[in-house]
Chains A and B, each alone.
Chain A
Amino acid sequence: MVTSSRAPRRSSISWTGWRHAAAILAACVFAVFATERLGYRLTVLLMLGFLLKVVEGRGWLQTLLFAFGLAFGSFFLFYTLLRVPLPEGPLGF
């Protein structure tokens, strides 16, 4: 019932993906501090730019298309259509 002998040995746990995980967590921490200061769309743009370009190494065109599309698209869906309040930044968007 209480056996820990069935748990994986501590040395057998693989931490290989930790850099990736740390980058994603850093992006989330950035979101925590930036969402209300920079506004939703700018924050998401920067997060996606970081994740897609720096972490995943995708091309510039794909990154920019995807980031702009998702940031502005999700804002439109939630703020304009569903009227969920999302913060706007100092640049007006």
Chain B
Amino acid sequence: MAETLHNLYIGFSVALSPNVLLYAFVGCVIGTLVGVLPGVGPLAGISLLLPVSFGLDPTAAIVLLAGIYYGAMYGGSTTSILMRIPGEAASVMTCIDGYEMTRKGRAGAALAIAAVGSYVAGTVSIVGLMLLAPPLASFALRFGPPEYFALLLLGLLVLAYMSGGSVSKSLAMAVLGLLLGMIGIDPMTGFFRFSYGLVELGDGIGVVPVAVGLFGLSEILLTAGQPTAPEVKKPRLRELLPSREEWRDSFWPIGRGTVLGFLIGIIPGSAHILSSFVSYAVERRLSKHPERFGHGAIEGVAGPESANNSATSGAFVPMLALGVPSGPIPAVMIAAMMVHGVSPGPLLIAQQPQLFWGFIASMYVGNVVLLILNLPLVGIFVNVLKVPYPLLYPTILIFCVLGVYAVNGSVVDLGIMTVMGALGYVLRKFDFETAPVVLGLILAPMMEMSFRQSLSMSSGSYSIFVNRPIALVMLVVGLALLLLSVAPWLMKTLDWRQRFGLASGQEKEGM
């Protein structure tokens, strides 16, 4: 413990040096801007600024890039809450309840809770990262293809809890997402599937055009055509902060979201969107007022926001402890470290303590910087809503077009965005929930790959899923969740007969 504190002291002395502090601040500002803009996500931001970091010393470079990553997570929730446009895929869940809170005039509260929840989750998960990096990393390494498949399947089954309306509608949307995810080059045989001759579809349908189109464009299509201006109650200054009841309600969701997000984040290769989906479903299941979800429940903002911030820290665990990238963003950061001659791996902590501990300390600092940046900006952001909507929506539309085009420089992405926007418009009119489509789209290639790899490992036998303990546990949990969601329906069928019998019994007693 004393050694950890000593190392932390070294780390803070590195992180609070003016040079590194400046780069952390710059990274956070750029990250927030990148996160606020629809389409341009943290990966694009980090990749764009990677050459800039070549000239810096290793610690400053890593701190800059990590600041962008963190800032993008914070910024993505801002547009999700204010305009129902997900800044990046992980903010999709925040759109649902966050925007409803904006409609009720509680935008400031939602933004503040998102900022505070992200701060708490980020800080606590950094502590986890610091203390638990090596043992957690070895746990994460025990995940093979069967465990991945079970985890992703669990993520899909969790959808059964997502909506209070029709479960079959949510599952239908998830299947639509899965089908869309099948488009592209077959990962094992290399054939083009469903590309209809468009070479750009070889990489599959990108998640950014789909998310921006399905959420942002469809929202513009829905509200622009309304004869009266959309009902966004302009909050007064005192209403900008959350009420005491809202603080109390968010306490446990933030805690649970932190733990869940961290656990899902440390598994290499898992999508961050899974952490926010699972957190939303867990909050809904455990809430005493599940009918409030979808209409502006603060738990639906606090939980997913905390989860996706702690998933960010969790993603750094395999990267720092083992040198294994858990996704494209840690991979770019590993590349940045290698350019500076630092080889990440198990020896990193021993050989370059000032880099590792400086990184951890700078994440603490970065979290504080972002909290300070974001809370006062809440008032400014909310003022954006006061711009008259006929002027606001063309601006948002142009930024959506720009953001989607900037990802790949391909107009096919713009076409996908337009098609998904029209589809989202029709789906929302028919009261379908669109978030599961994004989940299915991301999960489909991963599930297929893990499934086929698992079967290759077991030479075609399905028993591999039940022979491995972690996979078995997750499959059993998923099955239990599915049965639990069906249970009320079964109970109602049985209850009908009992109620009928009871009613006649009561009648006799009343007489």
Q: Do A and B bind each other?
A: yes
Indicate which residue in A6, A36, A44 contacts B165 across the interface (CB closer than 8 Å): A6
Docked CA distance A19–B226 (Å) = 10
> How many residues of chain B have a CB within 8 Å of chain A?
42
Task: Give which listed residue, A7, A8, A28, A47, contacts B217 with CB less than 8 A.
Answer: A28
Minimum CB–CB distance for B183 against chain A, Å:
18
Beta-carbon contact of B418 and A29 below 8 Å: yes
Interface string of A7-34 (1 = CB under 8 A from B): 1100001011111110011011101110
A24 engages B224 (CB within 8 Å) = yes
B225 touches A18 (CB 8 A): yes
- Interface footprint category on A: 35 or more
At the interface, is chain B mostly helix, strand, loop or mixed? helix
Q: Is B99 an interface residue (CB 8 A)?
A: no
Q: How many residue pairs bridge A and B at CB < 8 Å?
A: 110
Cβ of B98 to closest chain A Cβ, rounded Å:
23
Q: Is the interface of A mostly helix, strand, loop or mixed?
A: helix
Contact with B along A45-62 (1 / 0, CB 8 A): 001100110001010000
Q: Is the CB of A21 within 8 A of B489?
A: no
| With known contacts A3-B166, A7-B165, A21–B221 Cβ distance under 8 A | yes
Q: Is B383 an interface residue (CB 8 A)?
A: no
Point out the residues of chain A lying under 8 angstroms from B489, CB to CB: 1-2
CA distance A66 to B243 in the complex (A): 38
Q: State whether B402 touches A74 (Cβ < 8 A).
A: yes
Interface residues of B (CB under 8 A from A): 40, 48, 165-169, 217, 220-222, 224-227, 390-391, 394-395, 397-399, 401-402, 405-406, 409, 411, 414-415, 417-418, 421-422, 425, 429-431, 485-486, 488-489
20 intermolecular pairs with C-beta atoms under 8 Å apart = A1-B485, A2-B166, A2-B167, A2-B489, A15-B429, A18-B225, A21-B221, A21-B225, A24-B224, A24-B397, A25-B422, A28-B401, A31-B414, A32-B415, A47-B398, A48-B394, A52-B390, A56-B390, A58-B390, A78-B406
The 7 closest A-B pairs by CB, nearest first: A17-B225, A20-B225, A1-B489, A21-B221, A28-B418, A56-B390, A32-B414
For the complex with contacts A27-B397, A28-B397, A47-B401, 20 further pairs of A-B residues with Cβ separation under 8 Å are A1-B168, A3-B166, A6-B165, A6-B166, A7-B165, A8-B431, A15-B429, A17-B222, A21-B224, A25-B421, A25-B422, A31-B401, A32-B415, A35-B405, A47-B397, A48-B394, A51-B397, A52-B390, A70-B394, A84-B48
